Amino acid sequence: MAAQLFSKTSFSSVYRTGMIPASNEIVQLILSHVQKKTNGRPLEMALDVGCGTGRYTIPLAPHFKKVLGIDISESQINLAKQYNSAGNVSYMVAPAEKMPLKDASVDLVTSGLAAHWFSLDKFAGEAVRVLRTKGCFAVHAFHPDIDIQHEELSHELKVLKSEVLNTLYQHDDKKITECLNNQYREIFEALPLKDKEWITNVPVTIQMSALDLMGFIRSVYMYEAFAEKDTLKAEEFFTKIKKRLSHIMGENINSAVLNVLVKYYCVLACKD
């Protein structure tokens, strides 16, 4: 499903503009982990696996001599290249299960909101292969059940969110959803490293407009899967939710700032 959905240029564009932006809190958590484990040595190479359009690739640029982002989607990689703002960042079409790097050549292998699509055993094995001694591993995502708050409208927004999720979950991939809901426990268990930790329920608050929120709904793979099955019904659902949101927000629909509460989780490790 991943290759099919994310290979479409139209969805890649929606994903780039609509998906929740990179979390500064998570980026800093990863960088602190790397600094602690590498004892301040010069950092040569970071590898962002399943990098998509580069949301979590670019923030690594100031901290490593070179950063490489790989993804199996050519359309995502093309967009990442198009919007690349760092001279030391490059992108390549390549799978997580066969990383295009030499043994023991990487200081950090990371993946943001992507590892649940991989063959976990193969990905974990490849990560260990390319990592240098004391190289770091960091994968992260967020729980699908986000919370939306805005003053006295929070309850109505919560009801609307539940209705959206109930519909989208009818078009999910059960294995993917289980991995996300379990907060990457399977990835933690599959990783053949002794020095590892599993961090859950990291709270991050993101401010979004109503337009941002609707863009986020479109960027979720379950909505795209819905649209592939029945474009008309998916558009009708989207229009209905947009009208409901407009009714809830009233005259503040274009100016209101929504607080979107997201719970991140992260698997961190270090190669002995």
Residue environment code for 63-90, b if the CB has 16+ CB neighbours within 10 A, otherwise e: bbebbbbbbbbebbbebbeeebeeeebe
- 214-228: average pLDDT: 95
Closest CA to 172 of 49, 1, 6: 1
* Cβ-proximal residues to 188 (8 Å cutoff; 6+ apart), any chain: 196, 198, 267
How confident is the prediction for the chain on average, in pLDDT? 95
User: Residue 5: pLDDT band by 50, 70, 90 thresholds?
Assistant: confident
Rounded to the nearest 5°, which phi and psi values hold at 45? -140, 135
Q: String of b and e for 109-122 (b: at least 16 CB within 10 Å)?
A: bbbbbbbbbbebee
Q: What is the pLDDT of residue 222?
A: 95
Instruction: Provide the pLDDT confidence category of residue 3 given band limits of 50, 70 and 90.
Output: low
From residue 148, alpha-carbon distances to 143, 170, 245 in Å are 13, 21, 12
Please determine, for residue 2, whether its predicted confidence score (pLDDT) is greater than 70. no
How confident is the model at residue 15, as a pLDDT?
Answer: 95
Q: By the 8 A CB rule, do 179 and 187 touch?
A: yes
pLDDT for residue 6: 85
Does domain 2-270 fall into CATH 3.40.50.150? Answer: yes
Give bridge partners of residue 203 from the DSSP assignment. 263
CB 233 within 8 A of CB 226: yes
Beta strand residue intervals within the chain, DSSP E: 45-49, 66-71, 89-93, 106-112, 131-142, 147-149, 195-208, 258-270
- Is the pLDDT at 165 greater than 90? The verdict is yes
pTM of the model: 0.95
CA distance 51 to 57: 7
From CA 120, how far away is CA 49, in angstroms rounded? 12
Query: Letter for the amino acid at 268?
Result: L
Parallel, antiparallel or unpaired: strands 89-93 and 66-71 = parallel
pLDDT for 67 beyond 80: yes
pLDDT for the residue numbered 48: 98
Is the pLDDT score of 7 beyond 90? no
Q: Measured in whole angstroms, how far is the alpha carbon of residue 255 from the centre of its chain?
A: 27
